[in-house]
Amino acid sequence: MNALKNLDKLQPYPFERLRALYTGVQHKGGLAHVNLSIGEPKHPTPELIKQALIDNLDGLSVYPGTQGLPVLRKAISDWILRRFDALVDPETQVLPILGSREALFSFAQVVLDGCEAGSHVAFPNPFYQIYEGATFLGGACPVFVNIDPETGLSNFHALGPDVLAKTKLMYVCSPNNPTGAVYTLEDWQKLFDLADEYNIVIASDECYSEIYLDGTAAPIGGLEAASRLGRSSYTNLIVFSSLSKRSNAPGLRSGYVAGDANLIKAFLRYRTYHGSAMSTTIQMASVAAWNDEEHVAENRRLYTEKFKAFSAILESKLQLRIPPAGFYFWADVGQSDTAFAKTLFEQAHVTLLPGSFLGREVNGYNPGANHVRIALVASLDECNEAANRIAKQI
């Protein structure tokens, strides 16, 4: 009965709400649809990943182990060292996961296991909806921490001591979805200090870490920050990453968790029962992906090109701030975000995501209101076409 009550707390997913918003709305003019609402990469999946799948189809004939193949854990730990200059033990501090989504959800069950009633989970607002679902189904209470309109990040230090004392888990997202803002080393230091003081586990969602728009300014990750700050045991820190955005392989459902060895051990035990082992075929394709950076650099180039072109078309019509990372524009449209999105669908056949669908009202204020999230995942030509249509409607 408790599970049913917790399920009833789940709100409709943003894209379910978007479909409801468009119910009965007919677009005009016979224009081809341009969908910039869903953060699903559309660049081609690299051939090296496809070939690795073909070369390892024999893996379909065996049950995979939950801990994953040593070669994959080694490839991930080597990539973390190259990318973040952080050492992780492939035997005790890394696990493959079926994309970051399922692990971000299930990890909460491990942290919240045995917690007293009224325990809290804190996360940014607006947010990736999995954080809220994991909180409710873990039997905890969500604490929505509004993002600062200027920084695009949430100030967890603004929470009162009574709330922090009950907080068991903190989801952080850098680069942030939807703002694209990233934590500095100083930001990480403050988060670690807060987590130490109140014994809070940090779950760092870093699935956009490789989509940064300045080739010399790669975002700092949680493991990198911890290592630079002398916290090489990564106490109470787990990071989540994925090949979906980095390698344009959302259907591969492949990523990793890494960090605190004690938390990894507990999560492995949970996952052994959870039934979340990755096919060895997928694992070998993942090895190929983690070992190659050329396709990732090309991916960044394509997104950078689209950001510059899109903003140039709309610069006199809409205030657009190119983010340091991610592939979203988070735009203040100066009016009802749902009305704006509905009109745009009807008049221009362009789909955007209303920002209020990603947030929750706190003290009478939804920080996503009057904003839209624009996912530059379509081709350059489609994005430019969408920008021109939007310009005509403003």
Residues 175 and 250 in one domain: yes
Residues 232 and 284 in one domain: yes
Distance CA 379, CA 352 (A): 15
Residues 64 and 128 in one domain: yes
- Determine the pLDDT at residue 1: 44
Q: What are the percentages of helix, strand and coil residues in the chain, rounded to 5?
A: 45, 15, 40
Is 245 among the domain residues? yes
Is 49 among the domain residues? no
Residues 95 and 235 in one domain: yes
What is the pLDDT tens value at each position of the chain, 394 positions in all?
455 688 999 999 999 999 999 999 988 888 999 999 999 999 999 999 999 999 999 999 999 999 999 999 999 999 999 999 999 999 999 999 999 999 999 999 999 998 888 899 999 999 999 999 999 999 999 999 999 999 999 999 999 999 999 999 999 999 999 999 999 999 999 999 999 999 999 999 999 999 998 777 899 999 999 999 999 999 999 999 999 999 999 999 999 999 999 999 999 999 999 989 999 999 999 999 999 999 999 999 999 999 999 999 999 899 899 999 999 999 999 999 999 999 999 999 999 999 999 999 998 999 999 999 999 999 999 999 999 999 999 8
Is 122 among the domain residues? yes
Distance CA 307, CA 177 (A): 16
Residues 374 and 273 in one domain: no
- Determine the pLDDT at residue 319: 87
CATH number of the domain within which 91 lies: 3.40.640.10
Distance CA 382, CA 80 (A): 34
Is the Cβ–Cβ distance between 213 and 325 less than 8 Å? Answer: yes
The CA–CA distances, whole Å, from 197 to 78, 168, 201, 258, 298 equal 32, 12, 11, 22, 42
Residues 307 and 331 in one domain: yes
Residues 37 and 158 in one domain: no
Residue 354's contacts (CB-CB under 8 Å, 6 or more residues apart) are 17, 18, 21, 337, 338, 340, 341, 368, 371, 372
356: nearest Cα among 345, 344, 367, 340 = 367
Distance CA 346, CA 363 (A): 33
Residues 152 and 198 in one domain: yes
| Residue 19 lies in domain | 2-44+295-393
Structural domain count, the chain: 2
Is 303 among the domain residues? yes
Is 51 among the domain residues? no
- Determine the pLDDT at residue 258: 98
Is 155 among the domain residues? yes
Residues 306 and 281 in one domain: no
Is the Cβ–Cβ distance between 220 and 186 less than 8 Å? Answer: no
- Determine the pLDDT at residue 4: 63
CATH number of the domain within which 302 lies: 3.90.1150.10
Residues 121 and 194 in one domain: yes
Q: Which amino acid is at 344?
A: L
Is 327 among the domain residues? yes
Instruction: Among 243, 262, 292, identify where a domain stops.
Output: 292
Residues 240 and 329 in one domain: no
Instruction: Among 292, 316, 350, identify where a domain stops.
Output: 292
Is 50 among the domain residues? no
Residues 31 and 63 in one domain: no
Using CA atoms in the order 385, 388, 389, 390, what is the torsion angle rounded to 10 degrees?
A: 120
Instruction: Among 292, 315, 341, identify where a domain stops.
Output: 292
